[in-house]
A and B are shown apart, each in its own frame.
Chain A
Amino acid sequence: MTTLTGTAGAVRRRAGELPRSALVGAVVAVWVLLWIPLHGRATLALSTSELSPLHERLNDLRDAVNNTRGSSPVFSAFFDVIREAVDALTVFLQSLISQPAYGRPVPLIGWLGVVAVATLGAYAAGNLRVAVLTAAGFTSFGLLGFWQESMDTLALTLAAVLICLAIGIPLGIWAGLSDRLNRLLTPVLDFMQTMPTFVYLAPLTLFFLIGPASAVIATLVYSLPPVVRITAHGIRSVAPTSVEAGTSLGATRWQLLRTVRVPLAKRTIVLGVNQTVMCALSMVTIAALIDAPGLGQVVLRALQTLDVGTAFSAGLAIVIMAIVLDRVTTAARDRVETRYRLGPRARGRRRVLLAGLGVGTAVALYLSYTYVWAAYFPGPESGGVVGAQLATGVTDVTDWVQLHLGAVTDAIRNAISYGLLNPLQSLIAESPWYLVSAVVLAVAWIVAGPRIVPTAAVCLALLVGTGLWQEAMVTLSATLVATVIVMALGLVVGVWMGRSDRADGLVRPTLDAAQVMPAFVYLVPFLGLFGASRFTAIVAAVVFAAPVAIKLVADGVRGVPATVVEAATSSGSTAWQVITKVQLPLARQSVTLAANQGLIYVLSMVVVGGLVGAGALGYLVVAGFSQSDLYGKGLAAGVAVVLLGVLLDRTTQAAARRFDAGTRRGKDS
Chain B
Amino acid sequence: MTVGALALTGCGSKIEDSGSATPSRAACGTVNIAVNPWVGYQADAAVIAYLATNELGCKVEKKNLTEEVSWQGFGTGAVDVVLENWGHDDLKKTYIEQQGVAVEYGSTGNKGIIGWYVPPWLAQQYPDITDWNNLNKYADKFKTSESGGKGQLLLGDPSFVTNDEALVKNLELNFKVVYAGSETALIQAFRTAEQQKQWMIGYFYEPQWFLNEVKLVHVNLPPYTAGCDADPKTVACDYAPYDLDKIVSKKFADSGSPAAALVKNFQWTNEHQNAVALDIAVNKLSDDDAAKKWVEANRDVWQAWLKN
Besides A48-B179, A613-B180, 19 more A-B contacts (Cβ < 8 Å) are: A49-B166, A67-B98, A105-B8, A209-B73, A291-B65, A304-B42, A304-B184, A304-B281, A305-B39, A307-B284, A371-B15, A372-B8, A373-B11, A403-B195, A610-B181, A613-B179, A618-B181, A619-B179, A627-B161
- The 8 A CB mask of B170-186 against A (1 = contact, 0 = none) is 00000001111111111
A527: Cβ under 8 A from any B Cβ: yes
CA distance A383 to B308 in the complex (A): 40
Kindly identify which residue among A66, A372, A402, A628 contacts B12, using a CB–CB cutoff of 8 Å: A372
A105–B7 CB distance below 8 A: yes
- Quick one: given A524-B188, A612-B180, A626-B67, are A66 and B15 in contact (CB under 8 Å)? no
Assess the A209–B69 pair: CB atoms within 8 A: no
Q: Indicate if B232 sits at the interface (CB-CB under 8 A).
A: yes
The listed residue with most A CB atoms (<10 A of its CB), out of B157, B161, B185, is B185
| Interface pair B178/A615, CB less than 8 Å apart | yes
Across the interface, do B15 and A104 meet the contact criterion of CB distance under 8 Å?
yes
CB contact between A297 and one of B64, B144, B165, B180 (< 8 Å): that residue? B64
Asked whether A532 and B64 contact (CB < 8 A) given A106-B15, A612-B181, the answer is no
Listed in ascending order, the chain B residues whose CB lies under 8 Å from chain A are: 1-2, 4, 6-19, 37-39, 42, 63-69, 72-73, 75-76, 78-79, 90-91, 94, 98-99, 144-146, 154, 157-162, 165-166, 177-189, 191-192, 195-196, 209, 232, 280-282, 284, 286
Would you mind naming 13 contact pairs between A and B with Cβ atoms under 8 Å apart? Answer: A70-B76, A210-B73, A289-B37, A303-B184, A304-B184, A306-B188, A373-B11, A524-B188, A528-B188, A531-B144, A533-B145, A623-B159, A626-B159
Q: How far is the CA of A613 from the CA of B68 in the complex (A)?
A: 23
On whether the beta carbons of B181 and A66 are closer than 8 Å, the reply is no
Known A-B contacts A70-B75, A372-B10; the reply to A629 vs B161 at CB < 8 A is yes
Q: Which residues from chain A contact B94 at a C-beta distance below 8 Å?
A: 63, 66, 628
Pick the 4 closest A-B CB pairs, nearest first. Answer: A417-B145, A626-B159, A623-B158, A532-B180
Report A288-302 CB contacts with B as 1/0, cut-off 8 Å: 111101000100110
A618 proximity list for chain B (CB < 8 A): 181
Q: Output the least CB separation between B70 and chain A (Å).
A: 8
Residues of the A chain whose Cβ atoms lie less than 8 Å from the Cβ of B2: 100
Inter-chain contact A105/B15, CB cutoff 8 Å: yes
Is A211 in contact with B78, judged by CB distance below 8 angstroms? Answer: yes
Within 8 A of B (CB), among A516-574: 523-524, 527-528, 531-535
- The docked-state distance in angstroms from the alpha carbon of A212 to that of B157 is 27
Do residues B181 and A532 form an inter-chain contact, with CB atoms below 8 A?
yes
Q: Are B181 and A611 in contact (CB under 8 A)?
A: yes
User: Could you tell me the distance between the alpha carbons of A531 and B12 in the complex, rounded to whole angstroms?
Assistant: 52
Q: Is the CB of A305 within 8 A of B209?
A: yes
| A206 engages B72 (CB within 8 Å) | yes
Contact status B185-A612, CB under 8 Å: yes
Chain B residues closer than 8 Å to A288, beta-carbon distance? 64
Given A105-B6, A291-B65, A627:B19 Cβ within 8 A: no
Closest B residue, CB atoms, query A630: B158
Give the chain B neighbours of A100 by CB distance below 8 A: 2, 4, 18
Residues of A close to B78: CB separation below 8 A: 209-211
Determine whether the beta carbon of B165 is less than 8 Å from that of A210.
Answer: no
Contact between B66 and A289 (Cβ–Cβ < 8 Å)?
yes
Chain B residues, Cβ within 8 Å of A48:
165, 177, 179
Contact B14–A626 (Cβ < 8 Å): no
- With most chain B CB atoms within 10 A of its CB, the pick from A300, A306, A528, A614 is A306
Which chain A residue lies CB-closest to B71? A628
Chain A residues within an 8 Å CB radius of B75 = 66, 69-70
A447 to B91, CA, bound (A): 50
Q: Known contacts A103-B19, A288-B64, A613-B181; is A414 also within 8 Å of B145 by CB? A: yes
> Quick one: given A418-B145, A528-B188, are A619 and B181 in contact (CB under 8 Å)?
yes
Residues of B contacting A533 in the complex (Cβ-Cβ under 8 angstroms): 144-146
Given A69-B75, A626-B66, A627-B161, decide whether A531 and B90 contact each other with a Cβ distance below 8 A. no
CB atoms of A406 and B184 under 8 A apart: no
Within 8 A of B (CB), among A573-623: 610-615, 618-619, 622-623
Q: Of all chain A residues, which has the CB nearest B177?
A: A48
Q: In the assembled complex, how far is the CB of residue B32 from the closest CB belonging to chain A, in whole angstroms?
A: 9
A370 interfacial by beta-carbon distance below 8 Å: yes
| Closest residue on chain A to residue B67 by CB atoms | A626
User: Which residue of chain B has the shortest Cβ distance to A531 in the bound complex?
Assistant: B189
A205 & B72 in contact (Cβ 8 Å cutoff): yes
**Judging by beta carbons under 8 Å apart, are B196 and A406 in contact?**
yes
Flag A497-513 by CB within 8 Å of B: 1 or 0 each: 00000000000000000
Taking CB atoms, residues of chain B closer than 8 Å to A376 are 8
Query: How far does the alpha carbon of A612 sit from the alpha carbon of B187 in the complex, in Å?
Result: 11
A67 to B72, CA, bound (A): 10
Measured in the bound complex, the distance between the Cα atoms of B176 and A422 in whole Å is: 15
CB pair B98–A103 under 8 Å, yes or no, is: no
Shortest distance between the CB of B272 and any CB in chain A (Å) = 19
Task: State the CA gap A611–B185 with chains docked (Å).
Answer: 7
A358-381 CB mask vs B (1 if < 8 Å, else 0) is 000000000001111101100000
Residues 54-70 of chain A, each 1 if its beta carbon lies under 8 Å from chain B, else 0: 00000000010011011
Contact, CB under 8 Å: A628 / B68:
yes
* Chain A residues whose CB sits within 8 angstroms of the CB of B19 once the complex forms: 103
Q: Would A627 and B159 count as touching, CB distance under 8 A?
A: yes
Contact yes or no, A210 B69, CB < 8 A: yes
Inter-chain CA distance A406–B281, complex, in Å, is 25
Give complex CA distance A535, B144 in Å: 12
Q: Considering the chains assembled together, what is the distance between the CA atoms of A534 and B185 in angstroms?
A: 12
Contact across chains for B189 and A370 when beta carbons are under 8 A apart: no
Decide yes or no: A613 and B188 within 8 Å by CB, A533-B146, A627-B159 being known contacts: no
Residues of A within 8 A of B281 (CB): 304-305
**When chains A and B are docked, how far (Å) is the Cα of A206 from the Cα of B64?**
16
- A146 in the interface, Cβ–Cβ < 8 Å? no
Assess the A629–B185 pair: CB atoms within 8 A. Answer: no
Q: Is the C-beta of A202 less than 8 angstroms from some C-beta in chain B?
A: yes
Assembled-state Cα–Cα distance A301/B209 (Å): 14
Instruction: Give the shortest distance, in Å, between B238 (CB) and chain A (any CB).
Output: 18
Asked if residues B158 and A535 are in contact (CB atoms below 8 Å), the reply is no
Most-contacted residue by chain A among B78, B144, B181 (CB, 10 A): B181
| Cα A227 to Cα B235 with chains together (Å) | 53
Q: Judge whether A2 is part of the interface by a CB distance below 8 angstroms.
A: no
- Report which of B37, B76, B90, B181 forms a contact with A615, defined as CB distance below 8 A: B181
Q: Say whether B68 contacts A627, CB under 8 Å.
A: yes
- Give the residue among B66, B90, B189, B232 with the most A Cβ atoms within 10 A: B66
Across the interface, which residues of A come within 8 angstroms of B165, CB to CB? Answer: 47-49
Would you give the shortest CB distance from B18 to chain A, in whole angstroms? 5
**Whole-angstrom distance between the Cβ of A467 and the nearest chain B Cβ:** 17
| A413 contacts the other chain (CB 8 A) | yes
Question: How many Å lie between the Cα of A376 and that of B94 in the bound state?
Answer: 45
Complex Cα–Cα for A618 and B67 (A): 19
Judge if A382 is at the interface, Cβ distance under 8 Å: yes
* Residue among B10, B15, B178 having the largest count of chain A Cβ atoms under 10 Å: B15
| Closest chain A residue to B9, Cβ basis | A372
Name the residue of chain B whose CB is nearest to the CB of A309.
Answer: B284
State the Cβ distance, B63 to closest chain A Cβ, in Å: 5
Q: A49-B232, A406-B196, A527-B184 are in contact. Are A532 and B154 (CB under 8 A)?
A: yes
Residue of A210, A301, A611, A612 touching B63 (CB-CB under 8 A)? A210
Distance, CA A190 to CA B294, complexed state (A): 51
User: Which of B11, B166, B179 has its CB near the most chain A CB atoms (within 10 A)?
Assistant: B179
Least CB separation from A620: chain B residue: B158
Q: List chain A residues, Cβ under 8 A from B158.
A: 610, 619, 622-623, 625-627
Residues of B within 8 A of A615 (CB): 178-179, 181
